[in-house]
Structure 1
C-alpha cells in the first residue's frame, strides 16, 4: 500500500486551495479527483452562470484572476482559471480516482478508491464540496408528478424548455437567475415559501463584496449573523427584481400538491406543468466518511468546528458552506479557510 503525507479528496477550488496551503507549509499533498480534470463542479454549472463577485476578489491564493479586475467572470473563464491553477500547483494531482471510503488506522488513515486502490495517509482533507449531493426536498406529490423534474445541478440552458410551462422552486440566486432566463422562452413561475429578498449588487459605486470585505462580514465568523434564512438575499443589479415585478417570471407561494402532469397552487387553482426545476441547494458530499466513526452526524453532515473535525485531529474540512464565514465555500474565501486547515494539520503532523 502506498504511503502519502496528506490526501486531499477533491480537486476543485477547495482541494487546490488546501493543497497550495499545505505545500507552503512543507507538506506533500496528493489530490484525489474523481473526474478527468481538476476544475471541480464548475464545468457542470449552467451555461450562463457568472461569479457574484468581481475578478479582483475571486482569485485563489498565489494566482490573480487575469483581465479586467472589475468584471464578473463567467463559468468558462473560471474553468480556464482553475485549469491553469492546477498546472502551476506544487501537488501530485491524480484524476479519475473517486474515493469510496476513509478509515482510521494506527498511523493516520486508509483511503480506499473505487476499484480497490488503497493509500495510507497521515492526514486527510475532505474538500469535495456539495455539488454532488443536490437537495431534493419532500414536496407534496412529487413522486407522482409525470412531468420532467430536474435539479438546478442538471440545468444547462433554456432551449429545451422553449414554449413550455415551467415552475422553478427556490428563492436563492440560482433559482431567480434560472427562472428569469427561462422566462424569455417559456411561461415560468418562481415558487417560493417566502417572498424573494434582494441585495443591491452595488453600493456607493462599489460592488457589495468590497463593503463585506471592509466590514469583516465576508471573512470573519461575525458574518455568520447573515446565515439566518430571513437575511438571505438575491444579489441583483436591478434586472432580476424588475423581471419578477414584471411577471417574467411571476412569483407564487409554493404549490399545494402535484399529481400526474398537474400542479395545485395554494389558491386551489390547477394547471398542467411540463417541467419542474428544483433550485433548492445542496448538502455536503461526504459519503466516503460514513464509516469513519464520529466524522459525520446522523444526517450525513460533517462534525467539525471551523473545519477541524471533531474527534479526528488529522482530518480537516475545506469548502463547506458557512464553514467559518459567509465566503467559506466561494473562490474568494476558501483560501483563508484552507490556510487555517493547513496550519492545524501541519502542527498536528509535527507532533506525530
Structure 2
C-alpha cells in the first residue's frame, strides 16, 4: 500500500491540467494512464485531424502552444505538445498503468487499484475524459448489416476505402472532416437527423474563438444551456462548398439498413460497402462502478465536475462540463482549477495556491 496526495486517472490533456493545478497547490499528483505515453486520445485520432481552434487558443495553462499563434495545429503537433507538457510537470506520471478500481473508504478517502498496486489517497480526479467509449447508436438494421461498420475512433485515413460506397452517420466536426476527405476517393453520403450547421471560422478577420473569448460565451456556464444542441461545424468555406457540390452529399437519416443495403427516407435503396459512425463518445469511467458516482449508464453524477455522490471526487474533461470549452485544450485547465479547489474543500483539505 502506498499513499498519494491526489490520484489523477487519465494522462491526456485533462489529467495533465489537473496535475498542474495540484502542483500549484503544493500537491504532487499521481497520474495513472493506460496508454504507453502522454497524449491521451490524440495519438489514436485520424491522421489528417486539424484543430478548428488556432494555436493561441489551444494551449494548456503555463505553456503556450508553440509556433505561429494563428495557425491551426494538426494531430501530431498536439501529441508533441502534450508530451512536452508532461515532461515539465512536477507529478508522478505512470503511463502503461490502468486504473482498475476505485474503492471508497470509511474515512471518506479512496483506495485506487492500478498495475497490481493499491494506492490510498484522500482525493481522486477522474480525467479519463469523454472520448474513451465510442457511441454506436441503435440504427434500424445496423446490427444485421453485412457490410463493414466502423466508428470514427477506428478511422485513420481514406486509403483502404478508395472506390467504396460509404455512409457517414453524424454531423459534427469530425463527421464532416472525415466525410469530405473520404469523398476525394470514394462515393460518400453524410446523414443526419437534422440539417448540417456551419459556423464561419473567421468573422471580420478574427477567428471564431476570438469572438467566443471576447464575449465571454466560451467560458460561460450559460453557453451550453443557451445552445444545447449539436456543435456547429467550424468551416473555413471548404466543407460547405464540398457538401454543396455533393462531395459528400447530405441526406436525412435512412429508414433502415437491410442486408448490404441502405434504405433511404424516400424509400429508395442501394448497396453500401461501409457505414462509418461519427456519432461521438461516452465517458470512460469503468473504474467507478459500484461507488455510486456514476449512474446505470456510466454517466457521472456531478455539478460542474464536482461529484454529487462522493466529496473527494472530481471530474475533468467531460463534454460541456461547465462551458462550451470544457472538453478542449483551451478549457480543461480552467475546469481543473475550479474542480480541484472544490474537491479539496469538500474533503476538508484547505490548500493554498502556490504562485
CA distance in 2 between partners of 1:138 and 1:165 (Å): 21
Aligned to 1:262: 261
Displacement of 1:46 in angstroms is: 0.4
Displacement after TM superposition at 1:349 (Å): 4.6
Q: Partners of 1:302 and 1:195 in 2: how far apart?
A: 30
Task: Tell which deviates more after alignment, 252-261 or 29-38.
Answer: 252-261
Q: Provide, for residues 190-242 of structure 1, a one-character-per-residue CA deviation record: whole Å limited to 9, x for no partner.
A: 0111110111101111000000001111012121235422x631110110000
- 1:101 deviates by 1.1
Instruction: State the alpha-carbon separation in 2 of the partners of residues 149 and 194 from structure 1.
Output: 22
The RMSD of aligned alpha carbons is: 1.3
Could you say which residue in structure 1 is the equivalent of 2:36? 36
Determine if contact 2:54/2:70 at 8 Å carries over to the other structure: yes
Matched with 2:307 is 309
1:318 is matched with which residue?
Answer: 316
Q: What is the Cα deviation at residue 131 of structure 1?
A: 2.1
Which residue is 2:336 aligned to? 338
Gaps of 5+ in 2: none
CA distance in 2, matches of 1:207, 1:225: 23
Counterpart of 2:85 in structure 1 is 85
2:291 is the counterpart of 1:292 = yes
Q: 1: distance between equivalents of 2:255 and 2:341? A: 50
CA shift at 1:345, angstroms? Answer: 3.1
3-state SS of the aligned residue for 1:25? coil
1:129 alignment partner in structure 2? 129
What TM-score, normalized by structure 2, do the two folds share? 0.96
Moved more, 340-349 or 271-280: 340-349
- Deviation of 1:120 after TM superposition, in Å, equals 1.0
Partner of 2:153 in structure 1?
A: 153
Cα distance in 2 for partners of 1:226, 1:262 equals 39
Report if aligned partners of 1:7, 1:31 keep a CA contact under 8 Å in 2. yes
1:106 positional shift: 2.5
1:300 and 1:180 map into 2 onto residues whose CA distance is 33
Q: Is the 8 A contact 1:216 1:222 kept in 2?
A: no
> Quick one: distance in 2 between partners of 1:281 and 1:324?
19
Inter-partner Cα distance in structure 2 for 1:104 and 1:351: 21
C-alpha distance in 2 between matches for 1:105 and 1:346 = 16
* Contact 2:306–2:343 (Cα < 8 Å) also in 1: no
SS at match of 2:4: strand
On the 8 A contact 1:199/1:235 being kept in 2, the answer is yes
Q: Rate the CA distance shift 1:297–1:139 in 2: closer, same or farther, 3 A.
A: same
The answer to whether the 8 Å contact 2:30/2:92 transfers is: yes
1:25 is displaced (CA, Å) by 0.5
Verify the 8 A CA contact 1:101 1:291 in the aligned structure 2. Answer: no
Using the alignment, how far apart are the partners of 2:100 and 2:155 within structure 1? 27
1:290 deviates by 1.1
Displacement of 1:351 in angstroms is 5.7
- Residue 103 of structure 2 contacts residue 111 of structure 2 at CA under 8 Å; is this kept in 1? yes
> Does the Cα contact within 8 Å between 2:38 and 2:79 map onto a contact in 1?
no
> Where in structure 2 are the equivalents of 1:1-352 lying within 5 Å?
1-107=1-107, 108-113=109-114, 116-229=116-229, 232-293=231-292, 295-347=293-345, 348-350=347-349
Distance 2:224 2:268 in 1: 40
Contact 1:262 1:270 in 2 (8 A): yes
What CA deviation, in whole Å up to 9, does each residue of 1:31-67 have, x standing for no partner? 0010110210000000111111110111000111111
Aligned residues: 349
Q: Are the counterparts in 2 of residues 27 and 346 from structure 1 also a CA contact under 8 Å?
A: no
